[in-house]
Chain A
Amino acid sequence: MKQTYLVEARRVKKYFPIKTGLLNRVVGHVKAVDDISFGIRSGETFGLVGESGCGKSTLGRVLLQLQKATDGDILFAGQNIRELDSRDIRRLRQEMQIIFQDPYGSLNPRFLVRDIIGEPLRVHLRASAKEVEERVVELMELVGLDASRRNRYPHEFSGGQRQRIGIARAIALHPRFIVADEAVSALDVSVQSQVLNLLMKLQKELGLTYLFIAHGLNVVRHISDRVGVMYLGKMVEVAPTEELFAHPLHPYTAALLSAIPRPTPHRKQQRIVLQGDVPSPANPPAGCRFHPRCPLAQERCRREEPLLQAVSGERQVACHFPLE
């Protein structure tokens, strides 16, 4: 099935060197993202889930060229952006943006909110002071902030309001693609849903495409059209959201889903509790990376690494023995 993606990763790798000793010898690599291929369609929300440290955030940043990929190609609207020079990448920032996890650390404490939101306009569009002012007011109202507070500093805002500032900044230049990197994880649950609804509203109004990185599965289910599951630098399953939640194919996905607390106490659910810790991404297990913790592992899983393959329709899974 031939598909047109807005953003596509082809065999993308991101290795971080581990240096030790007096001479900074490279003794190994943390394989944060190891040979991942997937695509995000225009206008959809692609949810990315996985445990802490599995490489979700790194993948998001590599897609935006905030970190350079070690290998592989990244296509944005059909153009390979890994070949661009720094000037073209800066220009590309108008098209692709990111919302960060920590609304406290990600806003410069020495900048007025007006300048945080308005700076991209000034730098990229060379907008006049008046134009910037108007647009800042417009953006703040769009994300549900009181625009009369634009001459304040970030520390005078609450966590949820700060995240709205981050969103207003991200959409200031009408981007097409936004990576929301744990954009609601740091917020209170009640504020989380407000920000999620805002993101969905903006998607509808501005035609945005999202890569939504999270570890809260309920949040991902709420907002995503399709979901990708990562484990130890690998994409292990990709599927439309409802199909994935109704019927996971990968044993790891099944274990993740069984960990969601459900408000149905009378129905005793089976929880799959994984044994052991996540192996080190510097020295991942041979064969299938999940095999030491997989309840269904067999001899073949220890030897041979399963590839991400289409199973049926839109579903892909990387497992020798997918669940029925």
Chain B
Amino acid sequence: MTEYLIRRLLQSLLVLFLITVVTFALIHAAPGGPMQIFLAPGLSQEAAKIQAHNMGLDQPLPIQYLRWLGGLLRGDLGYTFKNHLPVGEILWPTVWNTMVLMGTAWFLSLLVAIPWGIYNSTREYGFSDQLASILSYLGFAMPTFWFGIILQEFFALKLNLLPLSDMWTMGREGEIGDLILHLILPVTVLTLGFLAAYVKYSRSSMLEVLQQDYIRTARAKGLRERRVIFRHALRNALIPIITIIGLDLPYLVAGAALTESVFNWPGMGRLFVDMAVAREYSVLMAITLITAVIVIIGNLLADILYVLVDPRVQLGRKGGQSA
């Protein structure tokens, strides 16, 4: 297990390195650049050159990359072009804001989806199951920005019940009640999206397990149906659900760019969109890096949880056990 973890960590570092190289190249390959944005009209060629030199943009790309990498290794994420602010100062608050938003939506959707999926699996094609299906289709099919705008139009503008956007009302920063009011609409949008997937996953995972022979064995033992479902079936059905949850973990931090933009939520998703428009390379690199780290952690976590929940899985062994 330890050996496996060490190997995985080394692999992860390599993956991270490659991701930064590719991202760096891609960002610089995009047309336009900071120079075009910051050049004041009428600035002379000479002045522009000095400007580019000061920003380090006159260097060849590999050198620029190595400089960035060197800074990273010293814990320096770089500065923005525009105001010369340290990237961390801009970034960390948005990470926290995103986690508040996404964490709430994610937790709520799991809280509803898993029990609901289990219930539906025991009453396949019943009313509740059909309702979940319809809701899932809606959740998958509706563009989040569209759904968000509809909610704003109705609950904020027409009924004036909830705040239109942002995270706090001006002057009420830090009040938990104010935060909750601001959370309701974006959380609704995001929860529906998560719920659509999770309710379907947990239902189908349960249905698959309920058809297994060992469930018939459990019934033959004369167990109550409740015990069959929760003791015998659920333990097995949770295995694939855990994988999906682990793989979705990056959403918690990376945020939902569209929803955050619609609701003007000061999170990392919106920051990414804004910074992409402003060509703030160092911020984009930092966000990509954080997202990549979380993806890797999420995968690793899913693999470790796998071992904990499924005795047949052993990490670091080639080929699975005969199941």
Contacts and interface: CB of A to CB of B under 8 A. Distances in A.
Contacts of B214: 105-109
A100 B220 CA distance: 10
A149 interface: no
A110 B221 contact: no
Given A105-B212, A108-B232, A155-B321, A90 B223 contact: yes
Contacts of B219: 66
A97 B223 contact: no
B311 A155 contact: yes
A169 B217 CA distance: 10
Contact of A110 (B222, B223, B227, B311): B311
A110 B213 contact: no
Contacts of A51: none
Interface residues of A, number: 28
B178 interface: no
Contact of B216 (A89, A91, A100): A100
Given A110-B236, A124-B222, A155 B312 contact: yes
A94 interface: yes
A98 B219 CA distance: 11
Contacts, number: 69
B220 to A, nearest CB: 5
A92 interface: yes
Interface in B189-242: 212-214, 216-224, 227, 232, 235-236
A104 B216 CA distance: 13
A292 interface: no
Interface string A66-105: 1000000000000000000000011111100110101011
A57 to B, nearest CB: 11
Given A123-B222, A124-B222, A100 B217 contact: yes
A89 B311 CA distance: 33
Interface string B305-323: 0000111100000000111
A106 B235 contact: no
B311 to A, nearest CB: 4
B216 A66 contact: yes
A153 interface: yes
A120 interface: yes
A110 B235 CA distance: 7
A64 interface: yes
B221 A119 contact: yes
A106 B213 contact: yes
Given A100-B217, A107-B217, A108-B232, A119 B212 contact: no
A85 to B, nearest CB: 13
B217 A108 contact: yes
B311 A109 contact: yes
Contacts of A97: 220
Nearest to A87: B224
Given A93-B222, A155-B322, A109 B217 contact: no
Contacts of B322: 104, 155
Given A105-B214, A108-B236, A123 B227 contact: yes
A102 B214 CA distance: 10
B213 A105 contact: yes
Given A108-B236, A109-B236, A123-B223, A153 B217 contact: no
Contacts of B221: 93, 119-120, 123, 169
User: Which of A91, A93, A106, A169 is most buried by chain B, counting CB atoms within 10 A of its CB?
Assistant: A106
B123 to A, nearest CB: 15
28 contacts: A66-B219, A91-B222, A93-B221, A94-B222, A100-B213, A102-B213, A104-B323, A105-B213, A105-B214, A106-B216, A106-B217, A107-B214, A108-B217, A108-B232, A108-B235, A108-B236, A109-B310, A110-B309, A110-B310, A111-B232, A119-B223, A120-B221, A120-B222, A123-B221, A123-B222, A123-B223, A123-B224, A155-B321
Given A100-B217, A124-B222, 18 more contacts: A90-B222, A93-B221, A94-B222, A100-B216, A105-B212, A106-B216, A106-B217, A108-B236, A109-B236, A109-B323, A110-B309, A123-B221, A123-B224, A153-B311, A153-B312, A155-B321, A166-B217, A169-B217
The 8 A-B residue pairs with the shortest CB-CB distance in the complex, in nearest-first order: A93-B222, A105-B213, A108-B214, A106-B213, A90-B222, A153-B311, A110-B235, A106-B217
Interface of B: 212-214, 216-224, 227, 232, 235-236, 309-312, 321-323
